[in-house]
A and B are shown apart, each in its own frame.
Chain A
Amino acid sequence: ETGVTQTPRHLVMGMTNKKSLKCEQHLGHNAMYWYKQSAKKPLELMFVYNFKEQTENNSVPSRFSPECPNSSHLFLHLHTLQPEDSALYLCASSQGQIGDAEAFFGQGTRLTVV
């Protein structure tokens, strides 16, 4: 248990569906992140939020829409996905721009697009 909780753990969705991934952290952190890990590939940083504001979008397609209503919650809204979007989606949190803090990761959501 890392203090970062992701739901659901597994998700199967069709290409026309709309779904959302949820991430919640109880660590008092002010920075949250979404990563994507495709099969046999390194983790790719998708989005960065600091104090609820998006500070980084690494050229992520618009079919992925993040939302950060407060510092404890992060969502990734999905719509019109493609089969190649199937991957493990990981959420992380950290103290942001303070000292040499480490990041804490959730267990991820395994997404399959059919």
Chain B
Amino acid sequence: DAKTTQPPSMDCAEGRAANLPCNHSTISGNEYVYWYRQIHSQGPQYIIHGLKNNETNEMASLIITEDRKSSTLILPHATLRDTAVYYCIVRVAANAGKSTFGDGTTLTVKP
């Protein structure tokens, strides 16, 4: 898996958009960008993933730069329940559960 770099922590005001960056400058052509989050003491939860194009689902949007060396996860209207550790993972598609989880970004949504 390619190495990723995320800021250790971020704050966001409730109701505002949360933009979480991730650098993955050594990403290979066949590697996807995945995002998971882990709410305190629970199992990680899949959020979204993408290869080249920007992606959107009911939880978030994923913006991948054209050179694929970085990406941003966007939570459009953060709520207090979005407070969690967010993990950016870069890997090939096979064996989806074989992910290398780093330290992630601790997002704190404040009222």
Contact = CB atoms under 8 A, between A and B. Distances in A.
Contacts, number: 71
B98 A2 contact: no
Nearest to B91: A100
A88 B51 CA distance: 31
A106 B43 CA distance: 6
Given A100-B32, A100-B51, A33 B43 contact: no
Nearest to B104: A42
Interface residues of B, number: 22
Interface stretch (A14-22, A64-72, A75-83, A91-99): A91-99
B44 A102 contact: no
Chief secondary structure at chain B's binding surface: loop
Contacts of A90: 43-44
B97 A97 contact: no
B44 A48 contact: no
Given A42-B103, A102-B49, A2 B97 contact: no
A105 B32 CA distance: 19
A4 B44 CA distance: 12
